[in-house]
Structure 1
């Protein structure tokens, strides 16, 4: 999935997402007071930490958040139900992605990228016991990627990135729907 982050006419950021199914969506940002676009932090964090159930993996699978709009393409006939299934199925991972992206965002925004691993460990500890599944070096890679993307974004006013195909959220089966052949009597 191709993602283009650019400045919007509101002074914030807008991400235009070109999904593999031909649908093009826009995701507005609410980050006018920050130098680092929040959704760009989600991208860098989720991609580096291999989070398929975060914001971008969910969108790639067919989820559409309430603040998004379809720009072009034809959504599936069951797109609303599919989106709801994906968002319900990814509820916990979306919450985790929000928390971790917030830590990486804060580290880059406040120019303390070396503190990101500590921030992520503390955030993880607020949700779960034990160490996070990502070594400090991987968390540091997320801050490095975000810093590089922000540098490009500031220099050009936009940045194009690709969401990997292997990081697409699974679409849960609808409850109460049987699959397969009916028995004959």
Structure 2
């Protein structure tokens, strides 16, 4: 899968998603109040922490969220069934949302990586200890910080490759 973050003239962000199956979608972001788009924060957090079943790993596996519009490629005959099947499988969307929000806020407010807050958010939704070492959390925060600067510095599209290994289970055939 391949993600491209585009500046929307209204001050928002539009993400173009090109999946491996040839389908292309747009995903509008509603984060005008932020310097960095929240969808970019999700992509960075999920990729850097290796979350195969966060928002973008689920999309890679075939999920089509209501906020997505297909713009190219053949529409799957079983798109709704496939989406439901992937989303019914255990996934990390909730914890991804929680951790992404903490990392996003740290970057927005020019703060250091908030290790304790991330572990606290993990503990709200998960009974086991947070599996992400400080180095991984730092990498996610610093990558988002770097991309935030690039996003703000110019209006060029921000191209973001998505690793094939980060795809949610449950898609079947």
Q: What is the TM-score with the length of structure 2 in the denominator?
A: 0.93
Distance 1:170 1:127 in 2: 20
Indicate if the aligned counterparts of 1:6 and 1:13 stay in contact, CA closer than 8 A: yes
For residues 61-100 of structure 1, what are the structure 2 equivalents within 5 Å? 61-90=61-90, 92-100=91-99
Residues 121-158 of structure 1, C-alpha deviations (whole Å, 9 max, x = no match) = 11112223453001111101000111111112122322
Number of aligned residue pairs: give it. 172
Bigger radius of gyration, 1 or 2?
1
Q: Tell me the residue number matched to 2:135.
A: 137
Quote the RMSD (CA, aligned, Å).
Answer: 1.6
Unaligned runs of 5+ in 2: none
Q: Which runs of 4+ in 1 moved over 4 A?
A: none
In structure 1, distance between residues paired with 2:9 and 2:24? 19
Query: Greater helix share, 1 or 2?
Result: 1
Task: Name which of structure 1's ranges 79-88 and 136-145 shifts more when overlaid on structure 2.
Answer: 79-88
1:53 aligns with 2:53: yes
**What residue is the counterpart of 1:110 in the other structure?**
109
Answer whether contact 1:35 1:109 (CA < 8 A) is retained.
yes
Give 1:84 deviation, angstroms.
1.4
The 3-state SS of whatever aligns with 1:170 is coil
Q: Is the 8 A contact 1:12 1:32 kept in 2?
A: yes
State the distance in 1 between where 2:4 and 2:171 align.
28
Partner of 1:151: 149
In 2, the alpha carbon distance for the partners of 1:20 and 1:173 equals 15
Name the CA distance, whole Å, in 2 between partners of 1:32 and 1:87: 28
> TM-score by structure 1 length?
0.87
Structure 1 CA distance, aligned partners of 2:49 and 2:152?
24
Residue 36 of structure 2 is matched in structure 1 by 36
SS at match of 1:9: coil
The whole-number CA distance in structure 1 between the counterparts of 2:171 and 2:24 is 23
In structure 2, relative to structure 1, the CA distance for the partners of 1:72 and 1:173 (3 Å cut) is: closer
